[in-house]
Amino acid sequence: MIFKLSALSLFLCLAACGPIAEARSDRIEARNQPKGQMIDVAGATIHAEVTGHGPDLVLIHGASGSTRDMADLAARLSDRYRVIRLDRPGLGYSTDLGRIGESPLVQADYLRAAAARLGVRDPIVLGHSYGGAVAMAWALEAPSETRAVVLLAGAILPWEGGQDRYYSLTASPEAQATIVPLAAAFLPDWALHRIIANLFSPNTPPPGYATDAGAEMALRLDAMRTNLRQLDRLKPHLWLMSPNYRKLHMPIEVVHGLEDHVVDYAIQSAELGRLPNVHVTALPGIGHMVHHAAPDQAIAAIDRAAARSD
């Protein structure tokens, strides 16, 4: 009886973190006002930023990210491409779609619809990390309207073994109601910087990256919940998608760091490289954040994709 009361008390205390987390989320959003455009797609909002002139190039960020993570890459490309950065559903300033939004295919549908509102035609579609799955979904859904695909450390193939226990735990309804609000309410700045350092390892983040990329946006309660659910439920969707990759014939360029400890090169990019239309660039000494650690190689892959598709 005492144990049950203690467990109930703990649950209630953790659940009570929700209002604190929401207040922190409001403060974070006040410090990170959106730029660009808000596009209505079937009652949802997709946030987009457009820069430059030239052929259309769509940039799709990874887990926990937003358009701001792709800002430096966009700036380097806007002299010769029309660069369209899109927040994936539930992250940045795009609306969470609920359970259906856990599918990269559904995310791609909403992003394509938003891109169409911007007049995007026959784009090169680039995805980083989780965004790679959405880029491949985009190509699968509209192969005749996708000029080429570029994957930067893309998570695009299912892996052996089960789900990561951390994601399975934090994506459960119980954790979403307790542990996640606790983290969203009280995760300290030093922990956020530690997470960023681990993402970049063995490379170092650019000076001011956390501020420039709006990294704290990932600490908002709703965004944290969505991100954890999407990560936990990615693998089943990759099992569904991956057998169809061989049906794609557009150029696919892959850039992946050999020191990537987040998305494994051998399991993901090396395997995809067996397809005849896929060109893989493996980078020694580079980790997961390849578009920051090796931007020249990422840009070269984009230019190569454009040339191969002419």
How does DSSP assign 208-269, residue by residue? THHHHTTGGGGGSHHHHHHHHHHHHTHHHHHHHHGGGGGG--S-EEEEEETT-SSS-TTTTH
Looking at residue 163, its pLDDT comes to: 56
Beta bridge partners of 217: none
In a domain, 252, yes or no: yes
What is this structure's pTM?
0.93
Q: Contact, 37 vs 47, CB < 8 A?
A: yes
Residue 295 sits in a domain of what CATH number? 3.40.50.1820
Looking at residue 174, its pLDDT comes to: 73
Could you give the percent of the chain with pLDDT greater than 90?
Answer: 84
What is the tens place of the pLDDT at every residue in 64-78? 999 999 999 999 999
The residue segments making up the domain with residue 131 are 34-159+234-309
In a domain, 177, yes or no: no
In a domain, 167, yes or no: no
User: Dihedral sign, CA of 277, 138, 300, 262?
Assistant: negative
What is the tens place of the pLDDT at every residue in 260-292? 999 999 999 999 999 999 999 999 999 999 999
164 falls in which pLDDT band (50, 70, 90)?
low
d(CA 182, CA 87): 25
d(CA 156, CA 274): 14
Could you give the percent of the chain with pLDDT greater than 70?
Answer: 91
In a domain, 87, yes or no: yes
**Smallest Cα–Cα separation from 265: which of 286, 244, 251, 250?**
286
In a domain, 14, yes or no: no
Q: Would the pLDDT of 306 be above 60?
A: yes
178 falls in which pLDDT band (50, 70, 90)?
confident
In a domain, 279, yes or no: yes
Q: Would the pLDDT of 166 be above 80?
A: no
Q: Would the pLDDT of 12 be above 50?
A: no
In a domain, 150, yes or no: yes
Looking at residue 176, its pLDDT comes to: 78
Place of tokens 């578009």: 291
Count of structural domains within the chain:
1
In a domain, 288, yes or no: yes
10 falls in which pLDDT band (50, 70, 90)?
very low
Q: Would the pLDDT of 259 be above 80?
A: yes
